[in-house]
Amino acid sequence: MLATSRFADRYEAGHRLGLALRDHPIDRPLIVLGLPRGGVPVASCVAEELGAPLDVCVVRKLGVPGHEELALGAIVIGGARVLNDDIVEELRISPETIERIVAQEERELRRREELYRGTRTFPALAGETVIVVDDGAATGASMRAAIVALRELGPRAIIAAMPVASRDALKMLSSVADDCACLITPDPFYGVGFWYRDFSQVPDAEVRVLLADAWRRWETSAPLLAEVKS
């Protein structure tokens, strides 16, 4: 039963998530934002299924020293920071340690923003419905940080979307997003990667290609759509 619940890879999961989102009452204009790196392949398929533009929202997890897979929080371009207070208190992580981790991850954040976006500016989100997509949520810290930052840009609504999430993560995200879309919330959870047969790391080059292709397609089709609407 577990095997049939697993996704083949991020692309299959993204198409399934996109099809599920078609049944959501989503106001337009609409934009899909992928969280790199693993969320971008999923988001590219969601955008394709919804006929929506794709972009990227760079967010960095703040990993616990020595246990970097465990998130004590996350940061986003623009300065938004979200901390998991329970983990910080339980592990007695000092403010000095947090600042050191933040400084390190901010450097990587800026590097990836330039790598993925180049000179392209971040899209205007005022009045838009924004679907924020990741390949899964264990704690939800990264997506929560993205949502907090994106709120400042005045979107009409923010939908958190992912193929798989822990029940705790989905509950937390439901408290900060206007809506959530998730295909499976298994219990026990085991971790995001368990629910993919292929969960290999997504290279930066793959993210860049997906974004470039999506931008090119949308810039070509947008004038045609405008003519049809007029």
What is the tens place of the pLDDT at every residue in 25-49?
Answer: 899 999 999 999 999 999 999 999 9
Task: Quickly state the pLDDT bin for 78 (edges 50, 70, 90).
Answer: low
Counted domains in the chain: 1
Q: Using alpha carbons, list the distances in angstroms from residue 81 to 129, 134, 180.
A: 22, 18, 21
Find the angle CA(221)-CA(33)-CA(86) to the nearest 5 degrees.
Answer: 175
- How much is the pTM? 0.84
In this model, does residue 163 exceed pLDDT 90? yes
Structure confidence at residue 138 (pLDDT) = 92
- Residue 228 reports pLDDT greater than 90: no
Asked if residue 230 has pLDDT above 70, the reply is: no
CATH number assigned to the domain comprising residue 12: 3.40.50.2020
Domain that holds residue 212: 2-229
C-alpha span between 33 and 40 (Å, rounded): 8
The pLDDT of residue 227: 45
The one-letter code for the residue type at 38 is G
Pick 130 or 63 by higher pLDDT: 130
The better pLDDT of the pair 68, 101 is held by: 101
Q: What's the confidence (pLDDT) of residue 224?
A: 45
Quick one: pLDDT at residue 229? 44
